Amino acid sequence: MRLTLIILLSFSQLNAQTKKCLLVLVDGIPADVLENTKTPNFDAMAQKGAYARAYVGGEKGGISESPTISAVGYNSMLTGTWANKHNVWGNAIKDPNYHFPSLFKVARDTRPELKLGIFSTWEDNRTKLLGEGMELTNFLRLDYVFDGYEKDTFSFPHDKQGEYIKNIDKLVVAKAKETIQKYGPDLSWVYLEFTDDMGHKFGDSPQMTAAVEKMDKQIGQLWKAVKKREKEFNEDWLVIVTTDHGRDTTSGKNHGGQSDRERTTWIVCNKSHTNERFKTGLAIVDIFPSVLKFLELNVSTEILNQIDGEEFLN
């Protein structure tokens, strides 16, 4: 009997799936725009997993009220806290409070062997928000880095139409897809910007709709790479896709305030075992504790107590 138990435990361990997580943040897409655009890849992921509206901007009128601005939203996702804690109040990212660690720092500190990746159309996500190489982040280093292309004006000459951002997004997705398929980073973040650019330029418009449709195809490429990894390498991936803010109700061009449309976002993930939090009260800060739980990252009570979000996975 004892020998049988040992054999069964060994077999179970050998067949245990390796857990990995892919975060994708696509910039500036209001929930109503996403829901009224043809997005077959989002729909397929939502059908397999779950989709719900969410919010950004903290507690309206409260101490945690946060501007509905891009970098503010990114850091709320990364740290599980609102701006009154992480101290990013705008895209200048003047003085982040690294006392509230990002998911990437937590992953590196708790399980140093994990492979971390970032694929981003904005280099500041790595250098300022994650604080790679800084003493305050314990000299955090990522294993796979593909960003900074916006500074390469030879390969991506800047144009008024914003086509260079679309081309950078395309390259970022290609690099992410290739890296996922070949190496399967344990935790990675893909950031795409073009949808926000179209929102600022054209507001609620055919151009914005076309940008969302294009982005949906890119999400399809990433999800296809993940499913390939799961099939070939016995891995279990959590894929979360979200946005950082909505847009104003008048034109759809602006954001930053506390109107319902600016605060209303959304989250889609490939897992169906969501709890009541996912259905009611879902916020961008809930991504942090949910990823902690999925990847089984054991963090200190101090870190857990300072998180503003709640887990949305059972």
CATH of the domain at 257: 3.40.720.10
Q: What pTM value is reported for the model?
A: 0.95
pLDDT at position 16: 86
pLDDT digits (tens, 9 = 90+) for 275-313: 999 999 999 999 999 999 999 999 999 999 999 999 999
Tell me which long-range contacts 273-277 makes (C-beta under 8 A, separation of at least 24): 273/313, 273/314, 274/49, 274/50, 274/52, 274/312, 274/313, 274/314, 275/311, 275/312, 275/313, 275/314, 277/310, 277/311, 277/312
Q: Classify residue 227: in a domain, yes or no.
A: yes
By residue range, what is the domain housing residue 244? 18-306
Q: How far apart are CA 89 and CA 53, in angstroms?
A: 23
Percent of the chain with pLDDT over 90: 94
pLDDT digits (tens, 9 = 90+) for 194-244: 999 999 999 999 999 999 999 999 999 999 999 999 999 999 999 999 999
User: Which residue from 301, 263, 314, 267 is spatially nearest to 287, judged by alpha carbons?
Assistant: 267
User: Which residue from 273, 281, 284, 279 is spatially nearest to 307, judged by alpha carbons?
Assistant: 284
List strands edge to edge, sheet with 144-146.
Answer: 50-55, 264-269, 235-242, 18-26, 187-192, 116-120, 144-146
Q: Classify residue 13: in a domain, yes or no.
A: no
The domain total for the chain is 1
The mean pLDDT of 249-276, rounded to a whole number, is 98
Q: Classify residue 3: in a domain, yes or no.
A: no
Whether the predicted pLDDT of 1 surpasses 60: no
Q: Classify residue 113: in a domain, yes or no.
A: yes
Q: How far apart are CA 240 and CA 28, in angstroms?
A: 16
Q: Classify residue 55: in a domain, yes or no.
A: yes
Q: Classify residue 6: in a domain, yes or no.
A: no
Whether the predicted pLDDT of 6 surpasses 50: no
119, two tokens: 């694929």
pLDDT digits (tens, 9 = 90+) for 121-163: 999 999 999 999 999 999 999 999 999 999 999 999 999 888 9
